[in-house]
Amino acid sequence: MKYYYSVLMICVLALLGCKEQQPNESQQETIIVQIPDDFVDFYQQFHSDSLFQMEHIVFPLAGKSDSSAWQAEDWILHQPIDNSSEEFDISLDNFESIIIETIRDRQGLFSMVRRFADIGSGWNLIYYNVQEVSFGTLEE
């Protein structure tokens, strides 16, 4: 019995001394992104209050692929994404206090990128790009 505990202890110590392995294709790596609490409140109000939304977009808004910009008079209000059917992959990233939201449909026909920044007066939408796949080409 004493021999069994010695072997078990050696195995445990050997496992503790091993380097962490990089995940392979069958493993998923979990990345935790810190999203500020005040951004969550902003995001909810941005999608529920049309006046608030318009006041928190930096127009002319960059992101159109034709080198023009989104204008306030042409803006279509953004609504919350209903992902209850899980047809979209949605990710948020925090890059030096710029929140980057990427939404892609799982069929690969649509993608959208929005960037939000706290520019002193609170959070604002500073970039918006949407792309749709049409007949094998990528168009905006």
Q: Which two tokens stand for residue 111?
A: 């993608």
Roughly how many angstroms between the first and final C-alpha of the chain, as a whole number?
71
Cα–Cα distance between 133 and 140 in angstroms, integer? 8
Mean pLDDT (whole number) for 128-138: 73
Phi, psi dihedrals of residue 42, rounded to the nearest 5°: -60, -45
Q: 């925090």: which residue's tokens?
A: 94
Domains annotated for the chain, with CATH where assigned, are: 34-139 (3.10.450.410)
pLDDT for 113 equals 97
Mean pLDDT (whole number) for 2-8: 40
- On whether the pTM is more than 0.85, the answer is no
pLDDT for 8 equals 39
pLDDT for 134 equals 67
Asked which of 45-49, 76-80, 133-137 is least confident by mean pLDDT, the reply is 133-137
With a cut of 80, say whether residue 138 has pLDDT above it: no
Side chain identity, residue 103: I
Alpha helices in 29-70 (DSSP H): 37-48, 50-55
H or E element that contains 50? helix 50-55
Mean pLDDT (whole number) for 105-109: 91
